[in-house]
Amino acid sequence: MMIIVRELNDACERNDIQHVRKILKAFTINDLNRAEKYEKNTALNIASHHGYHEIVRLLLEHGDLMTKRNQDGSTPINQAKDEKTKEIFARYQRVLPRFTGDLFEWTVAYREPAIKRAQIRQYLARNHFINGSFTNIARRYVRCYLALEGFSTEEIDQPESRGYTSADEFICAYTSTGRFYKYINRHLAANGLTYFDSSFDISTPYSFIYCLLSIVAMILNSIRCRVSFTGPVYRGMLMTREDLYKYVVGSRILNTAFLSTSKNRTVAEIFAGIQEYETSSKQDSTHVNVLCIYKIRNRTTAYDIEQLANIQAESEVLVFPFSAFHVTHVQKTPSGSVEIYLDECEKEQWSDDDDDA
């Protein structure tokens, strides 16, 4: 494999687009990454340094990461030769924003979010959520509800969008570069909490919400004993200054959707545009680049899916819906970006006899 990587690097040096295509067609990015770490330079660093735009685009589309460093410590985005190369990286950041996002879209403020988390998690552990067929429930979501969102037959039939034979395959679909993850998160954020409202509304799509929550419950039940993660993880955001002021120390939140985070701080910083922001003279005065640093305390809250994800070098940790955090610190960096520290709330207990949180 080392020989193949050297071939790829040589092809990038020569701007041999056809040979690069041939190698990328034959090998996955994870295979190449494992061998590339022993090399002084990376294929993407080489192409970026020379300004070979088509090769940069091919490598990014194949899943290569702009966050990878060569042995000198430089990332491809920092070595970009010209503005067109930088724009290719910027377009890729916009296409794959799983590690970035507007936190307000995915969170709800709660006085006692840990109690709400305990209530919801207990519901999701019940037999009617976890004893069904994952294949059937996930196929129903993909083929019925995503079709209603305008997904074409071709999109639904693509292997990365058809991940419903197991929880692992569903997670692989979630981490693909398509729009699959956007819709499941949007659906969860808009509808997930409604299911736990004691009032009944005839206009509420309970069957649809049950389908969503069953997927979450079955994934929780499937991988909880294998890849639980505790420790710090990172996620980037682009936030308006007005929204930033709402993040006060002591505020408490419950996330209502999956949150893609990374064990690698640089991954989140680059996807959020923070490193580009620090070196750019064209900084947006209306928005702030924000890095959220989550401290995961409880097992069953976050899951290390690096080995399941399409691109292992992203070091992805998936934070599950209905997890509770409180803001412990907010600080502005010398470059103008902001860091928000969120500590997971201690786990609470809840029973059917308790009052609703």
A 10 A CB-CB count for 96 gives 20
- Residue ranges covered by each domain of the chain: 2-95, 120-223, 228-344
pLDDT digits (tens, 9 = 90+) for 235-252: 988 788 877 887 889 999
d(CA 12, CA 33): 15
* φ and ψ at residue 132, rounded to 5 degrees: -85, -170
Query: Between 1.10.1740.10, 3.30.2000.20, 3.40.470.10, 3.90.176.10, what CATH number should domain 228-344 receive?
Result: 3.90.176.10
> Do 2-95 and 228-344 agree at the fold level?
no
- Which spans in 149-262 are helix H? 153-157, 167-174, 180-191, 206-223, 241-244
- What digits encode the pLDDT tens for the residues 192-201? 888 887 777 7
| Per-residue pLDDT in tens (0 to 9) along the chain, 357 residues | 788 888 999 999 999 999 998 988 888 776 787 777 677 888 999 999 999 999 898 888 776 665 567 777 777 877 888 888 888 776 665 444 555 555 545 677 778 889 999 999 999 999 889 988 898 888 888 888 877 777 777 767 764 445 567 888 888 888 876 677 888 888 898 888 888 877 777 777 888 899 999 999 999 888 776 778 999 999 988 788 877 887 889 999 999 899 989 999 988 887 666 655 444 445 556 778 899 999 999 988 999 988 887 677 788 999 999 999 999 999 998 888 899 999 999 887 665 555 444
Question: What is the CA angle 171-218-349, rounded to 5?
Answer: 115
Strands (E), 271-337: 287-296, 302-304, 316-319, 324-332
How high is the pLDDT of residue 151?
74
Topology of domain 2-95, per CATH? Answer: 1.25.40
| pLDDT tens track for 85-136 | 888 776 665 444 555 555 545 677 778 889 999 999 999 999 889 988 898 8
